[in-house]
Structure 1
Amino acid sequence: MFVIVGLGNPDKKYEHTRHNIGFDVVDALAAKYNIDIKDKKHKALCGTGVIEGMKVLLVKPQTYMNLSGESVADVVNFYKIDPEEDMIVIFDDISLEPGRIRIRKKGSAGGHNGIKNIIAMTGTSGFKRIKVGVGEKPQGWDLADHVLGRFSDEDRQNVKEAIKNAMDAAVLIMQDETDRAMNLYN
């Protein structure tokens, strides 16, 4: 089984904010592949289904961003998956323009508290990840206000393309085509 984790915050007021782009990608995958994300387990909303012939668990941690690792570690331990082989984490990146994605096979948290907590709780930084650009914070703005804010109409159009690309990249990664996904989208 492959696990795809989208990061975000659970409250309705955070829907479609920059920080919730991971949830948006997972929701789009669920819609495309007819997977219900309604099971409340592992401190997350989860849905099991099949994507391109592979069994998959879609996960939206409900712990708030900074504690995402609690949910992810619970999933990893319960299903006894190898996070370095069988997991993708999708999240926002302020260093990328809206509409851009970047795929990595492993890496540091890069200042992202959700990723920092996943690394701490799973004991590895070797999991695959798809970063979705949300743009840099405007000068003088608080970072939290930026990432918890919504996209402009112009940026939202670019983000729709990024969500589609992130979905396609996730499928390639599941098919052991990570290098190909990196060449196409990075």
Structure 2
Amino acid sequence: MIKLLVGLGNPGQKYQKTRHNAGFLLLDELAREKAVTFSKEVRFFGDLAEVNLSAGKLYLLKPATFMNRSGRSVSSFMKYYKINPEEVLVVHDELDFEVGTLKLKSGGGHGGHNGLRDIIASLGVKDFKRLRVGIGRPKPGMQVADYVLSDFSKTDVQHVKELFYNFFNYLSLLQGGDYELAMQELHSRIK
């Protein structure tokens, strides 16, 4: 059962449309779809919204810390609401997938992603679920840091947003605890 959906990104206008902010982008689209707004929550070091789905309430959290300090926000929220790691889905950018590919994963390492690294360090466990949003690899000669902090092209961002709206159809399955079916359906239908 998923109770908390965390989108990873960097705060501020400068980073708003960057590839590294794929997690924020998904949460912003879900909030827009459900007509809810985020509010600043100082005690959780982030922005918070709540959506009501058929399976109940789902919290949306965008850490207002920079990417490499995301764990502070996530762990403080989880402690306050007594949410277990297996009830969390973290949405993040993934270099190893083509732009727009969406893949669910349960547990695992950080794969060099600083946001995941900090969440794992803060929680002391790796047992949370992830939605990996493909952003592709930089062209030869371009630094990875420069690439992830550059904006999506208009075509890519439109494609990614369309996939997000398809993913929203699986939220009730995830929230209801049917992770395996959601993963099977997502991986077979969203390309």
SS at 2:93 equivalent: strand
- CA deviation digits over 1:97-131, x for unaligned, max 9? 11111101211111111001000001111101100
Instruction: Give 1:165 shift.
Output: 3.4
Q: Which residue of 2 aligns with 1:99?
A: 100
Q: Which residue of 1 aligns with 2:57?
A: 55
Instruction: Give 1:161 shift.
Output: 2.5
- CA deviation digits over 1:78-113, x for unaligned, max 9? 1111121x2110010011111111101211111111
What is the identity, as a one-letter code, of the residue corresponding to 2:8?
Answer: L
Matched, 1:177 2:178: yes
Q: Residues 122-133 of structure 1 correspond to what in structure 2 (within 5 A)?
A: 122-133=123-134
Alpha-carbon distance in 2 for matches of 1:39, 1:10: 12
Task: Report which stretch shifted further, 40-49 or 86-95.
Answer: 40-49
Q: Which residue of 1 aligns with 2:16?
A: 15
TM-score between both structures, scaled by the size of structure 1: 0.93
Alpha-carbon distance in 1 for matches of 2:25, 2:154: 16
SS at 1:172 equivalent: helix
On the 8 A contact 2:29/2:161 being kept in 1, the answer is no
Note the residue ranges of structure 1 that are not aligned, 5 or more in a row: none
On the 8 A contact 1:33/1:51 being kept in 2, the answer is no
Alpha-carbon distance in 1 for matches of 2:4, 2:70: 14
Matched, 1:38 2:43: no
On the 8 A contact 2:26/2:161 being kept in 1, the answer is no
Q: Which residue of 2 aligns with 1:108?
A: 109
On the 8 A contact 1:35/1:47 being kept in 2, the answer is yes
TM-score between both structures, scaled by the size of structure 2: 0.91
Q: Which residue of 1 aligns with 2:77?
A: 75
Note the residue ranges of structure 2 that are not aligned, 5 or more in a row: none
Instruction: Give 1:154 shift.
Output: 3.0
With over 3 angstroms needed to count, the CA separation of the structure-2 counterparts of 1:148 and 1:170, relative to structure 1, is: farther
- CA deviation digits over 1:144-182, x for unaligned, max 9? 110011122332232122322343344321121211121
Instruction: List structure 1 segments (4+ residues) > 6 angstroms apart after TM superposition.
Output: none
With over 3 angstroms needed to count, the CA separation of the structure-2 counterparts of 1:145 and 1:64, relative to structure 1, is: same
Q: Which residue of 1 aligns with 2:67?
A: 65
Instruction: Give 1:31 shift.
Output: 1.5
Alpha-carbon distance in 2 for matches of 1:62, 1:157: 25
What is the identity, as a one-letter code, of the residue corresponding to 2:90?
Answer: V
* Identity %, equivalent residues: 37
What is the identity, as a one-letter code, of the residue corresponding to 2:54?
Answer: E
SS at 1:111 equivalent: coil
Alpha-carbon distance in 1 for matches of 2:172, 2:15: 26
Alpha-carbon distance in 2 for matches of 1:44, 1:52: 26
Matched, 1:89 2:90: yes
What is the identity, as a one-letter code, of the residue corresponding to 1:110?
Answer: G
Alpha-carbon distance in 1 for matches of 2:97, 2:170: 17
